[in-house]
Structure 1
């Protein structure tokens, strides 16, 4: 059977690895598969039926539903399924994730790796690393599926959740009103909804959690940026005291294993705030359904067991939908289906590193270009450092430039008035006798002190001038690091992944792997 579909070799690391059109295709094909299978119709067009196609399950955190649904999905498809036992593997000998996957990749033909890890951004990194490695080995690039990475994302759970919501809503994508209840801080399944719910044209989200378990502001702001209407409540009781109650509720358990001691001390109060009670039943709208990614804590379930036999129970069907959606996902990545896809594919961002611009040099000598009182005859002057910023920040930036560029040479620096106004200041560093500045150092300077100018002084005149703007991304420097200790690029994790930041706002950068936001000054290790 041919496997040449357009999704072949793709990776699902985050929800946005599939465009909205691709997500809708996934849901449409899953509906088609599920209805055909349950009615006894032919489903052969979904099957791979090729034992040379290998599905590796690498679960470095415990899982039942996700692992078993993927295992059974692989069996349904007729692929070879390999369950990699992380507990007894070479991970216990401090082998990196990349080296372990390279070893398994070497033993297989075409392959798909399904990974659950404590480290965040693993699949994004592996997809990048194996694009080049596959070319070196002459083998087809493998696909990677993120089955949950730390507190970051769980895209395949999100896809099965959205499929379940669509089922309840009769496949109507016009509007959804959903309440998210429980541990919204640690719950990666609710974090993924900041993007996953975009398949609906109008989205209302009610966040129900005490402050200690509240949704991180990053995801709240992302929801608002995506056009969602967001309301916030401290408890179910408070939420039900108002009139507009959602017909879809999404519960998460309290992830005690991820909480610090200060939070654990308040566990009884936290549980009470997000656990449903019998006396709440009469306050729910008609046709209401409850969902939960499972498992429930059998001792303290946020959805108590008395609800199991009521029409509110949407979580059992939701769990089964994981099997159907994951069959479709692997079939897409294996190239078995997708030829009938129509729409826009997800596009990776392209960056143009054109943040260094040569400007017209001035003929006149500039009086500030001096060491002490002696003008610079030959050398380099870095001007307009942090212009307009508070004086303390200008000094900090000067210090960062000197440390990171290792400018421990005879020189001078200071804070001066700018010609932009009497209350506007700027920093200047004068470096006599330095007659060259490498391209990497120029890019590094642009990343440390965007907005500055670099002047090459020859015979006491400006021979060349470069204006440096804020770069679209910052990467390849030893002096930067993601400050998320669970990120695969965090130095102490020893995975050999170089940090890369992508600019999001004027002074905000996002880690390429874990998507943690950083202020510009925070990315530097000085």
Structure 2
């Protein structure tokens, strides 16, 4: 079995291109029809007990776990349930070491992970990928069954499949309202990418301010061209006439909320709970969907509505089994030979952020700036404009950080001076007899002090000059860390993961693992 998806991990929705997602949905429809009509299913099954499918549910779950377990059993593979309560994880072993152990036990492995640790599948995809390559083992795919409040891609796939069924496979447009806990609801977060399967998307958001969709996901929706409207309650939403036919509810995730929010729970719950008063104001074809479970004592969709035509969540729940059969079949190599379309375009991060600039005055004697103390440099490197515009203590701190990270333990000089041409303060590091810095150190310098200049001096003259701009990513620093304590890269979790940040805009950096947005200053621990 060597289908085009074999060995692929799905850690977020965008790990599948839109064409690949469409294939997943159409193939799921085909498999669902075959199962319900009693057709021969052998052409859809992996049917290889040498493939070990591990279900590692480090966070409690019923529907997701059972649908994955039954989907794996459909394929006639070996299914292993990893008991987190009595596992090596409880004995303080790192999850990375546990994965290395498990991947060596079978000729081929597939891991389905649900965890409170965010970004865990992305890390494992890379970490175990290197390990299996070293041991000449097949690539082990990882499927994210929900990681903290980050994403839940397989739930998103079954949701979009359900919406497509409801719309008779019309992808031209969708109008949907998202109701409930939009802040912690990872199934909602995944919709910033999942709804792109439709050509035109109109999203209404119903949530009090305390439960509002995080700005990062709202911005992603806007960048994708989604039309967004926001309301604080169902009552407020139904006061206007343009009501969506698709309602997607999420439960209030009390276990993730702080005391300050919990104190307002009655008011918050009322704002996002539908009741009999609302029924007359709903469109005739409206359907309610919910990823489940509901809170049995205070459901946002009352129990009596389960008997009404607007109940779409029962079929939605069942669709989890069918979509996960398809997904396991794809990454297991059985399905996909008939795929046509574009796959995910894996692009490297552009690293062109070192700009050579003209040397306007070759003589140091005329510039009079590059000194070690009061001594001019005959040959060497001068780092200029360090932290220009910052306060003096901050510049001294930055100079120290540069010296430590770049290992500049040479005979040299440094200081903080007033800039001659601009009314501001800047730092200078002067390195006599050091003729150049290697590429790695230059990239590190750009990350530490974007905007500084690098001057190469020979014979008392500046021969080359470079301006270093903010790099597109920051990584390989001991002094950077994601601020999200549940991120797999956070030092608290003691996993072998180096923090990495991707620049988004001018001064925003996104954690590569959990998608938490940081400012430039926030990623540095010192």
> TM-score range, shorter-chain basis?
over 0.9
SS at match of 1:250: strand
Q: Which moved more, 1:463-472 or 1:137-146?
A: 463-472
- Distance (Å, rounded) in 1 between the aligned partners of 2:62 and 2:309: 25
Contact 1:385 1:394 (C-alpha < 8 Å) held by counterparts: no
Aligned residue for 1:486?
486
Give the counterpart of 1:228 among 226, 229, 239. Answer: 226
Spell out the pairing of 1:181-220 with structure 2 (5 A cutoff).
181-220=179-218
SS at match of 2:297: coil
Aligned residue for 2:452?
452
Aligned residue for 1:414?
416
Question: For residues 282-329 of structure 1, what are the alpha-carbon distances to aligned partners after superposition, in whole Å with 9 as ceiling and x for unaligned?
Answer: 010011000000001100101110101000110010000000000000
Aligned residue for 1:279?
277
For the pair 1:502 / 2:502, whether they are aligned, the reply is yes
User: 1:62: how far off?
Assistant: 0.3
Aligned residue for 1:308?
306
Q: Cα–Cα, structure 1 residues 324 and 460, in superposed 2: closer, same or farther, change >3 Å?
A: same
Q: Cα–Cα, structure 1 residues 171 and 130, in superposed 2: closer, same or farther, change >3 Å?
A: same
Contact 2:34 2:41 (C-alpha < 8 Å) held by counterparts: yes
Aligned residue for 2:286?
288
Q: Cα–Cα, structure 1 residues 59 and 417, in superposed 2: closer, same or farther, change >3 Å?
A: same
- Distance (Å, rounded) in 2 between the aligned partners of 1:118 and 1:187: 13
Aligned residue for 2:362?
363
Give the counterpart of 1:174 among 159, 167, 172. Answer: 172
For the pair 1:164 / 2:166, whether they are aligned, the reply is no
SS at match of 2:280: helix
- Distance (Å, rounded) in 2 between the aligned partners of 1:507 and 1:267: 35
The two structures, once aligned, show a CA RMSD in angstroms of: 1.9
Aligned residue for 1:317?
315
- Distance (Å, rounded) in 2 between the aligned partners of 1:306 and 1:473: 52
- Distance (Å, rounded) in 2 between the aligned partners of 1:43 and 1:395: 70
Provide TM-score, normalisation by structure 2.
Answer: 0.94
Spell out the pairing of 1:69-468 with structure 2 (5 A cutoff).
69-358=67-356, 362-365=361-364, 366-386=367-387, 391-392=389-390, 396=394, 399-406=397-404, 411-417=413-419, 419=421, 425=424, 427-433=426-432, 435=434, 437-468=437-468
User: 1:26: how far off?
Assistant: 0.3
User: 1:173: how far off?
Assistant: 0.5
User: 1:434: how far off?
Assistant: 5.9
Contact 1:401 1:445 (C-alpha < 8 Å) held by counterparts: no
SS at match of 2:89: helix
User: 1:44: how far off?
Assistant: 1.7
- Distance (Å, rounded) in 1 between the aligned partners of 2:201 and 2:395: 43
User: 1:358: how far off?
Assistant: 5.0
Q: Which runs of 5+ in 2 are unaligned?
A: none
Contact 2:387 2:427 (C-alpha < 8 Å) held by counterparts: no
- Distance (Å, rounded) in 2 between the aligned partners of 1:349 and 1:228: 24
Q: Cα–Cα, structure 1 residues 256 and 64, in superposed 2: closer, same or farther, change >3 Å?
A: same
User: 1:411: how far off?
Assistant: 2.6
- Distance (Å, rounded) in 1 between the aligned partners of 2:395 and 2:474: 17
SS at match of 2:43: helix
Contact 2:390 2:426 (C-alpha < 8 Å) held by counterparts: no
Q: Count how many residue pairs are aligned between Structure 1 and Structure 2.
A: 518
- Distance (Å, rounded) in 2 between the aligned partners of 1:514 and 1:238: 33
User: 1:378: how far off?
Assistant: 4.3
Question: For residues 92-135 of structure 1, what are the alpha-carbon distances to aligned partners after superposition, in whole Å with 9 as ceiling and x for unaligned?
Answer: 11111111111111001222100001111111111111222111
